[in-house]
Amino acid sequence: MNIVTGFSRTAEDAPDLLAVSVEGLEYSYGTLRDTVCASAGWILARCGTPRHVAVLASRSYGVYAGILAAGWAGAAYVPLSPKLPEIRLKSILSRLRPEAIIVDNNGLSRVSSLRQGEDTFPPVLLISGKNAAEVSEEGSAVIDTEPALKPAERSASDIAYIMFTSGTTGEPKGVMVPCGAVERFMSVMQERYRLTPADRLSQTFETTFDLSVFDMFMTWRSGASLHVLPATQLMAPRRFIVQNNLTVWFSVPSTAALMDRMNMLPAGIFPSLRLSLFCGEALGESTALAWRRAAPKSVVENLYGPTEATIACTLQPVDDPPYSTPGRGVIAIGQPYPGTDAAIFGPNLQPLEDGQSGELVLGGAQLAAGYFGDSERTAAAFPVIHGKCWYRTGDLAYRDSQGVFHHLGRIDNQVKVLGNRVELEEVDAHLRRAAGTDLAASVAWPLEDNGAASGIVAFVAGSDRPADDIRNAMRAAVPAYMVPSRICVLDRLPLNASGKTDRKALVAMLKEGV
């Protein structure tokens, strides 16, 4: 049950079809397979039986070939952004200890500084264009290892990928997703959407975001083509959709909301789209309806799901009028996929009645295997209740009398910034270090109409460091979307009744225009 099996089959049956269009170049399934077989052969020759292969690359041919090669060789792939600060990359690599690292040219520029100070460092393979070369401290050499002609056998419980997401303690959490969960997700999606070689899919998500798994692997198992958006077109991708005749669009709702706000969704602008999916944050009603009008032939669906339940696990079709969450102006998150169980639990993990709000919990075939190297946190997040394993999402929700789920926000301080999952406690932890004070707190701001955030604002008190210095120190420690866009220096931070920093009061200050 290897996640690359579908790709392998397509490459065998139809090697001339277009597999991926990226950086202005087109690569067929046959070409991509040749790179993958050569790279996987190198992994096996250099690492024996690899468990984890890190892929330090982004929006390049190398990232797609690298992910497929890791899977082909029987390893879990671990996507890492070349834009991550060094300290974070080093922390993940030292915990993970991957047997190999695959890079593109952007990833390569990070390797020499990552190597510095390390006694041992995994072998590095550079995939640049169609060429693959091993890169050592002495230089690079084109690989001449035997290609691996067939993908490795994998079982349902083997790990397909590990995604590192924000963690409350300041250290990112590695969500381990098994091959069986991915296979289950993909078969449910294929049953519903029936992708064919005629389909042309968008690729908006960074590969460090698990929604990219849908784009890549749904494309390749159905013989369709993947069209990678350049970073500069992500904000306003209208031209990209039209010029590439995309048939399937998948993005965070923010992308559509921004286009709507910029009057870039006139009726009928996307005649080629037959399927439009949104996931990662709340989908506003008005955005969803604007998209429906812009893509009149497209089915529009709102997906929901944490990385811990594999990509997405509930969905709500967007009709007109839409099935929305009363009083919130957002589309409901819908009903669970076949094979996924969803329920609402109270504070003592007891099931609640329909209409009562509580924590959304998920069970079934798409659950992740837990957090890498963190059995304590795994046990807390994946409790076994009456013999059944559940994942506690931390999302506040209720189920209505029709069996449809509605999302009401978070129980904790996790927020979504333009679709990226951020634990505010993690931002605070780094902020305290950067500002040299314990009096530091962050909030998601500004908030969009659908409750999603487009940035983070930080508040510090008792720090003698200039805001610019604090921001620069944050930039060196956390991904860009976690760096506060503003840092407000106060005399003191407001406290709530229990003596903790009152984030609601901070948001109220921003609403008043502080």
Contacts of 449 (CB under 8 A, 6+ apart): 284, 286, 329
Residue with tokens 């519903």: 192
Q: How far apart are CA 337 and CA 454, in angstroms?
A: 29
Minimum gap (Å) between residue 418 Cβ and other proteins:
7
Using the minimum distance from each CB to other proteins, give the nearer residue, 234 or 422.
234
Minimum gap (Å) between residue 474 Cβ and other proteins:
12
Minimum gap (Å) between residue 195 Cβ and other proteins:
27
Q: What are phi and psi of 454, to 5 degrees?
A: -110, 5
SS (H, E, C) 325-347: ECCCCEECCEEECCCEEEEEECC
Using the minimum distance from each CB to other proteins, give the nearer residue, 236 or 384.
236
Minimum gap (Å) between residue 242 Cβ and other proteins:
8
Q: How far apart are CA 462 and CA 436, in angstroms?
A: 9
Contacts of 100 (CB under 8 A, 6+ apart): 43, 46, 47, 50, 53, 54, 75, 122, 123, 124, 125
Q: Return the H-helix or E-strand segment holding 76.
A: strand 76-80
Minimum gap (Å) between residue 8 Cβ and other proteins:
35
Minimum gap (Å) between residue 428 Cβ and other proteins:
19
Using the minimum distance from each CB to other proteins, give the nearer residue, 230 or 296.
230
| CA proximity to 82, closest of 70, 95, 92, 96 | 92
Q: How far apart are CA 52 and CA 57, in angstroms?
A: 16
| Torsional class of 471: left (φ above 0), alpha (ψ -120 to 50), beta (otherwise) | alpha
Measured torsion, CA atoms of residues 63, 69, 72, 78, in degrees rounded to the nearest 10: -50
Structure tokens, 155: 């079982």
Using the minimum distance from each CB to other proteins, give the nearer residue, 267 or 379.
267
Q: How far apart are CA 200 and CA 474, in angstroms?
A: 39
Minimum gap (Å) between residue 263 Cβ and other proteins:
5
- E-strand ranges in 365-485 read 384-385, 388-389, 391-399, 405-410, 414-417, 420-423, 440-444, 456-461
Using the minimum distance from each CB to other proteins, give the nearer residue, 294 or 441.
294
Using the minimum distance from each CB to other proteins, give the nearer residue, 76 or 258.
258
Contacts of 82 (CB under 8 A, 6+ apart): 56, 57, 58, 103, 104, 106, 107, 109, 110
Using the minimum distance from each CB to other proteins, give the nearer residue, 73 or 441.
441
Q: Return the H-helix or E-strand segment holding 34.
A: helix 29-47
Using the minimum distance from each CB to other proteins, give the nearer residue, 37 or 234.
234
Contacts of 468 (CB under 8 A, 6+ apart): none
Minimum gap (Å) between residue 106 Cβ and other proteins:
14
Q: Return the H-helix or E-strand segment holding 241.
A: helix 238-243
Using the minimum distance from each CB to other proteins, give the nearer residue, 341 or 449.
449
Task: Please give the residue ranges that form the binding site for other proteins (CB under 8 A).
Answer: 230, 232-236, 238-239, 258, 261-264, 266, 418, 454-455, 466-468, 471, 480, 485-487
Alpha-carbon distance values, 86 to 238, 476, 479, 508 (Å): 34, 7, 10, 35
Minimum gap (Å) between residue 454 Cβ and other proteins:
5
Pairing of strands 225-228, 200-203: parallel
Minimum gap (Å) between residue 302 Cβ and other proteins:
22
| CA proximity to 19, closest of 159, 223, 313 | 223
Q: Amino acid identity, residue 289?
A: L
Using the minimum distance from each CB to other proteins, give the nearer residue, 337 or 481.
481
Using the minimum distance from each CB to other proteins, give the nearer residue, 183 or 260.
260
Minimum gap (Å) between residue 491 Cβ and other proteins:
18
| CA proximity to 70, closest of 5, 160, 1 | 160
Q: How far apart are CA 370 and CA 297, in angstroms?
A: 40
Using the minimum distance from each CB to other proteins, give the nearer residue, 82 or 334.
82
Contacts of 364 (CB under 8 A, 6+ apart): 313, 336, 339, 340, 341
Minimum gap (Å) between residue 294 Cβ and other proteins:
10
Using the minimum distance from each CB to other proteins, give the nearer residue, 198 or 235.
235
Minimum gap (Å) between residue 224 Cβ and other proteins:
25
